[in-house]
Structures are given as C-alpha cells and as structure tokens.
C-alpha cells in the first residue's frame, strides 16, 4: 500500500537523534534548558523572526499567542472552518468565541471579504490558517486587521517554511503558532509547538505564560499554563530542522510533478497568493468524484485521505458558534482529497499514483 505520508527516519537522522537524546539524558536537565534555548534560536533564524518560544503543542502555541496579545473570555476571533478543529479548540480554551469565515474558492484560505461581513465590536483578533502549507492572503488580512485594530495570530501549524515574496509565514502577525506534531513537515517524536513573534514583549510574556505565569521563581504574576517544549523534543527537532529545507524542496518537486501530470484532468489544485510559496504539507486535489476516486485508489493500494470531512462549524462542540452557512467551505469539504506526499515518496510510486488517477478518469469520462 502506498501511504499518504511516511515518518520513518532516514538512518543518518535516526543515529543523530539517538545521539542527541543520549546527550540530554546524561545532562540530567530535562525542562527549560540549553537544548530548548538552542532550538528556539535556530527556529527563529529559520523563520526570520526575532523571537521563538517553544511550548507543548501547536494548540498551546495558539492559546498563548492569543493570551499574550490580550485576547480573553468573551472576545471574538475571526477564523476559518476549513482547518484542523484544533485551531478553534485553542480559541475556545481561552474562553473566546470563534467566528467562522468562509474561504476563497481558489486558495482555500481565509476570504477577507467574508470576514468583513462578520465584524462587530467584540471581534478582537483574526486567526488565518496557512492550510496544507499554503500561505493565506496576509497582505489583505493585515490591511483589514489594521482598519479594525485587530490582533493578528497566524495559524502556521502546517506551514514551516512557507513564504510570501521571500518573507516566511510566522512573520506577518503579532504572533504565529507552529506545531511539531509527528506528521508535520517539521515533526517531533511526540507533541511540541512554537510561537514566533517579532515583539520582544510578546515573547517575554509567552515565556512566563508557558511556565505557570511565573514572573520570577515562585512568583506567579500572570494566569499561565504549564506547556514547555521539553529538552528531548528540542534536541530531536534540532537534528530534524537541518533537513527541513531539503525535505520541503522534495515536497515541492512532488507537488509540481502532480500538477504537471494531472493538469489536463477535470480536477483543481490549490492556488497560491501572488508571490506565495507553499511547503505542501499536504497535496490536495478538488474533485467532484471524491468518493469514487477514493475507493478506486484504495482498490489499487493507494492511500488518500480527507482533510477535513466535517467543517469545524458543523462539529458538535462548535455548532453553537456558527453564524451562517459557509458555502465555499461546505462545498470544498465534500470535494477535497489528499494524495500521497512525503519527502521519501519514490518517483516510481508517484508515477503509479498518477497513472491510476488517469485510469480512473478514463473509465469515468463518460459520466463526467
């Protein structure tokens, strides 16, 4: 079976990670130590941001980014519904209210025109998502946020290295959240997350908030949580980030090959904003024959998957926040299908996937 993704470690990376883990074990320093500081510096440099603060997960990164920017209970946060439900879990955990906006028909990221319809005095922040590794339209979002004096928090959990006109995502907002969930382009061997920001003040606050709100030893001045990226994960990620550019480029090659080879079929790809570069965390196609194509590919030993089958505003816990239908999101959630993509995907396997998709459309052409 060709998998959707494969997180097995290459032998040299496996060896380096084991060495790094052993070093941490021997150091007897497991929380808030040298490895975390080192990785935070490396990650900030990779993104091009002034500061990076390691936390326990992408969800906590979003939570603390909101909290450090003054978002609290009862505030509304504009976001999208075509995303991982964890985007809204973070908003809800802060006692804030997600206001779901529709997405653009071409880029599948936040449609600011739809956000404008939903603005009211309680809206304090906007949280676009760089979904599947593809940057949201930050130029338009920042202009909109300035008009309404909104804090901007990027959900960059799927977009390590994505950029717009040479500036990496994670730099466009008051604070941005990244996830190191194992399947991400930069994934740990467990949970982990990072906040990036260009504000020293926000970074300082997040450092306190992730550590129980401690302003100094045994002195809790802020309402914090306990969410720190631990030394072992930081040491693992320090080894993995060295390969991130290479892995992102391999993903790009795979994505371009899909686009070239499938371009003449009746399906669509995700568009990128002007000057935008996706890191193809997922390679997703839009097809009117999703269930049939899914079943056909499965019968040919090819794994595909749906991200996400139920939009967030239709989930039991989030339904109460939905203001109205989101026609584009709802349509897309029935038509999107993720194809296998990961750095080690063999060209011969990808060619097999491509040929099977062609076969499917040849067989179904009459009914399309």
Ligand X SMILES: Cc1ncc(COP(=O)(O)O)c(C=O)c1O
> Closest CB to ligand X among 184 and 207?
184
- Asked if 83 touches ligand X (CB under 6 A), the answer is yes
| Pattern 306-335, ligand X, x by CB under 6 A | ------------------------------
> Closest CB to ligand X among 169 and 205?
169
Buried b (16+ CB within 10 A) or exposed e, 152-189: bbbbbbbbbbbbbeeebbbbbbbbbbbbbbeebbbbbb
Question: Could you give the CA distance from residue 38 to residue 41 in angstroms, rounded to a whole number?
Answer: 5
Which member of 81, 87, 278, 287 binds ligand X (CB under 6 A)? 87
Mark the segment that binds ligand X (CB under 6 A) among 1-9, 82-90, 213-221, 291-299: 82-90
Which member of 47, 78, 157, 234 binds ligand X (CB under 6 A)? 157
- Asked if 65 touches ligand X (CB under 6 A), the answer is no
CB of 183 vs ligand X, minimal distance in Å: 8
Distance of CA 229 to the CA centre of its chain: 18
Nearest residue to the partner ligand X, using Cβ: 58
Which member of 134, 179, 248, 280 binds ligand X (CB under 6 A)? 179
Helix (H, G, I), strand (E, B), or coil: what is residue 226? strand
Q: What share of the chain is helix, strand, coil (3-state, %, to 5)?
A: 40, 15, 40
| Pattern 114-153, ligand X, x by CB under 6 A | ---------------x------------------------
Number of residues that bind ligand X (CB under 6 A): 15
Question: Could you give the CA distance from residue 241 to residue 233 in angstroms, rounded to a whole number?
Answer: 12
Buried b (16+ CB within 10 A) or exposed e, 312-345: bbbbeebeebbeeebebbeebbebbbbbbbbbeb
- Asked if 231 touches ligand X (CB under 6 A), the answer is no
CB of 169 vs ligand X, minimal distance in Å: 12
Cα radius of gyration rounded to whole Å, the chain: 21
Question: Could you give the CA distance from residue 136 to residue 326 in angstroms, rounded to a whole number?
Answer: 18
| 231-241 vs 34-47: helix crossing angle, rounded to 10 | 40
Which member of 39, 43, 86, 172 binds ligand X (CB under 6 A)? 86
Residues near ligand X (CB under 6 A): 57-59, 83-84, 86-87, 129, 155, 157-158, 179, 181, 191, 193
């Amino acid at each position: 079976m060709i998998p959707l993704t494969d997180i097995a470690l290459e032998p040299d990376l496996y060896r380096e990670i084991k060495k790094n883990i052993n070093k941490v074990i021997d150091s007897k320093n497991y929380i808030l130590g040298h490895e975390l500081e080192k990785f935070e510096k490396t990650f900030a440099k990779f993104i091009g941001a002034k500061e990076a603060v390691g936390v326990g997960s992408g969800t906590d990164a979003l939570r603390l980014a909101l909290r450090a920017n003054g978002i609290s209970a009862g505030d509304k946060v504009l976001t999208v519904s075509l995303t991982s439900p964890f985007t809204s879990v973070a908003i809800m955990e802060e006692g804030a209210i997600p206001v779901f906006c529709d997405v653009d028909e071409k880029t599948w990221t936040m449609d600011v025109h739809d956000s404008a319809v939903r603005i009211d005095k309680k809206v304090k922040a906007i949280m676009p998502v760089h979904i599947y590794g593809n940057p949201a339209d930050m130029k338009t979002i920042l202009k909109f946020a300035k008009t309404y004096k909104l804090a901007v928090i990027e959900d960059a959990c799927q977009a390590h290295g994505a950029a717009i006109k040479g500036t990496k995502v994670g730099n466009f907002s008051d604070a941005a959240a990244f996830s190191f969930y194992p399947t991400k382009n930069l994934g740990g061997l467990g949970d982990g997350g990072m906040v990036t920001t260009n504000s020293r003040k926000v970074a300082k606050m997040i450092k306190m908030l992730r550590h129980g709100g401690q302003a100094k030893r045994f002195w809790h001045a802020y309402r914090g949580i306990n969410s720190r990226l631990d030394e072992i994960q930081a040491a693992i990620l320090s080894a993995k980030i060295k390969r991130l550019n290479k892995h992102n480029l391999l993903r790009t090659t795979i994505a371009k090959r899909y686009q070239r080879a499938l371009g003449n079929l009746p399906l669509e790809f995700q568009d990128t904003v002007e000057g935008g570069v996706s890191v193809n965390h997922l390679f997703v196609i839009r097809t009117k024959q999703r269930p049939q194509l899914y079943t056909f590919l499965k019968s040919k030993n090819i794994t595909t998957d749906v991200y996400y089958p139920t939009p967030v505003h239709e989930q039991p816990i989030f339904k109460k926040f939905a203001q109205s239908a989101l026609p584009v999101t709802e349509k897309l959630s029935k038509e999107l299908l993720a194809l296998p993509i990961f750095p080690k995907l063999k060209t011969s396997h990808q060619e097999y996937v491509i040929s099977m998709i062609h076969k499917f459309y040849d067989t179904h052409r009459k009914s399309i």
